[in-house]
Amino acid sequence: MPRKPLIAANWKMYKTPAQAQEFVKNFLPLVTNHERDEVVLCPSFISLSVVIAAVTGSGVAVGAQNMHFAEEGAYTGETSPLMLKAIGATHVILGHSERRQYFGETDEIINKKLKTALQQGLVPIVCVGEVLAERESGRTEEVLLRQTRGVLAGIGAAEAAPIVIAYEPVWAIGTGKTATPQIASEAHEVIRGEVKKLLGGGVAENLRILYGGSVKPENASALMSETEIDGALVGGASLDPQSFGKIVKY
């Protein structure tokens, strides 16, 4: 069975609820009956409910950009996976490089979040990727192996099926510098190879690995035509319905 591509919009800290709703109104007609890819919108927490209501019946799914690893508790300002499920979110981005860089998230924390997301039946989109200095000093593979092992620690093959990994080289995020299809494919092979060692060939074969980092309408089809690339996690170019629509229709 070929892997179904997943294309996710990461809106980061952009769009009020009204703007998010407006996006959906303009976006849905562009992807009517689009079944080739799984399409997921990830607005900020505050816009999740309006976006979930607006996409009802369309086949487009909605995910959060983060969550806490606990089901509930005294964690001021945090959002629990139970709350996400209760409002109808189905996916969650975990360990985005901005969470790692600005909010101190480590592989250990991301691993805890991943375990909770799986227990709760949310589809986790777990991010890994090297920074520029790591690539330039030839440490990309080492970083990808460390992050892949770290986020997957203690997770068994039986529960791993829903996991989606997003390879996002940090030097390509929001910079306009896209990894070439070849660079992305090589990184995906490293990740898939490690998942095979950790969780077996079946899990590795079915694992969807997305590419993220300056994906745009102009480069989407070249990236997506690589057999190793199973979709995209799109930041800047997902904020405009026309632009994201073109990416989905690569």
Q: Which residues are catalytic?
A: 96, 168
Across 129-199, where does the E strand assignment appear? 164-167
* Residue 236 sits in the site that holds ligand PGA (CB under 6 A): yes
Task: Pick the closer one to ligand PGA by CB: 54 or 179.
Answer: 179
* Residue 219 sits in the site that holds ligand PGA (CB under 6 A): no
* Residue 173 sits in the site that holds ligand PGA (CB under 6 A): yes
* Residue 212 sits in the site that holds ligand PGA (CB under 6 A): yes
Task: Pick the closer one to ligand PGA by CB: 199 or 229.
Answer: 229
* Residue 215 sits in the site that holds ligand PGA (CB under 6 A): yes
Site for ligand PGA in 3-42 (CB under 6 A): 10
* CA pair distance 214, 72, nearest whole angstrom: 35
* CA pair distance 87, 100, nearest whole angstrom: 26
Q: b/e map of 97-127 (b: 16 or more CB within 10 Å)?
A: bbbbeeeebebebbbbbbbbbbebebbbbbb
* Residue 234 sits in the site that holds ligand PGA (CB under 6 A): yes
Write the burial class of residue 84 (CB in 10 Å: 0-12 exposed, 13-18 middle, 19+ buried): buried
Tokens 């969807």 label which residue? 208
Per-residue interface string for the shown chain with ligand PGA, residues 141-170, x marking contact by CB under 6 A: ---------------------------x--
Tokens 């250990």 label which residue? 108
Tokens of 23: 């996006």
Task: Pick the closer one to ligand PGA by CB: 20 or 234.
Answer: 234
Task: Pick the closer one to ligand PGA by CB: 61 or 233.
Answer: 233
Residue 162 is which amino acid? P
**N- to C-terminal Cα separation, the chain:** 21
Task: Pick the closer one to ligand PGA by CB: 81 or 236.
Answer: 236
Number of residue whose CB is nearest ligand PGA? 235
* Residue 174 sits in the site that holds ligand PGA (CB under 6 A): yes
Least distance between ligand PGA and beta carbon 108 (Å): 22
Q: Which stretch binds ligand PGA (CB under 6 A): 24-32, 67-75, 190-198, 227-235?
A: 227-235
* Size of the residue set binding ligand PGA (CB under 6 A): 13
Residue 42 is which amino acid? C
| Eight-state DSSP code of residue 149 | H
| Total Cβ atoms within 10 A of residue 163 | 23
**Sites of contact with ligand PGA (CB under 6 A):** 10, 168, 173-174, 212-215, 233-237
